[in-house]
Structure 1
Amino acid sequence: MGATMAALDILASVVAIAALMVIRGVVLARARGNIICSLRTGGRSWRSGVARYAGGELHWIPFLGLRLRPRHAIARRGLTVSTRRPLTGEDGPAGYWTVDCAGVSLAMSEDALTGFLAWVESAPPSAHLDAA
């Protein structure tokens, strides 16, 4: 009987943690000002998350995880977009666009891409002095 209760306690804990992670993902996806955005660094695979603009930075928070703090902060100062292209199902999320900049690739919807490019271009003129 004791082993059954211990197993049920463990199962209840796992279900509670999974429920909290699902609720966290829904809250992140629906929060005002957040956009659904996948991120890839180096040769890694795409990781799903949300991005939000905070002052002069783009903060990216992964869907999977417990923390609400951003995992990556991409500064607008000196940021240049090297390429942008639509993704196919083979190289990333279908229907998304990828933007390559400063060792980071972002995949987002076309509407989010328009907002991102406007955010990059609206930087003060002195912000691009660092870019070489």
Structure 2
Amino acid sequence: MTALDVLAGVSLVAALLVVRGIALARSRGTVVCRVRTGNQGWKAGVARYAGGELHWIPFFGLRLRPRHAIARRGLTVSRRRRLGTGEGPEGYWTVECSAERGALALAMSEDALTGFLAWLESAPPSAHLDAA
């Protein structure tokens, strides 16, 4: 195997990952959203609503299945604020949430935040009965 073959293979994989990311971002019903769990940094991806869950799929990866499936039942927003300079993309808002699997933060545009909060508030009345 020559160096040219290796370079061609790496370039092909990189191109496929870029095409995958663009396809995810432009898919109908998805919004660009970043997620942070624990003390880790922000991970870029897309979120889509699927019934009573918010599915988050990372831009960089091979699988098309969601890495995080955040159930609306029991999800509570503890804080929301605009991201400061150097914290993330300009104009994004962060929403700190507590869910069944623990605390997490989502970062999204103002339009996506409005949709997220509307989705959260549109839960049936019984959805919040078991929230602590």
TM-score, structure 2 as length reference: 0.94
Q: Highest CA radius of gyration, 1 or 2?
A: 1
More strand by share: 2
Q: Percent identity?
A: 73
Q: Matched residues in 2 for 1:92 and 1:16: separation?
A: 29
Task: Give the equivalent residue in structure 2 for 1:28.
Answer: 24
* CA-CA distance at 1:90 after TM superposition: 2.5
Displacement of 1:44 in angstroms is: 0.6
Q: Which residue of 2 aligns with 1:113?
A: 113
Matched, 1:51 2:53: no
Gaps of 5+ in 1: none
Which residue does the alignment assign to 2:63? 67
Gaps of 5+ in 2: none
Inter-partner Cα distance in structure 2 for 1:17 and 1:89: 33
- Is 1:90–2:49 an aligned residue pair? no
Q: Residue 59 of structure 1 aligns to which amino acid in structure 2?
A: H
* Aligned residue pair count: 128
Give the drift of 1:63: 0.6
Over the residues paired in the alignment, what is the CA RMSD in angstroms?
0.9
Superposed displacement of residue 66, structure 1: 1.1
Normalised to the residue count of structure 1, the TM-score between the two structures is 0.94
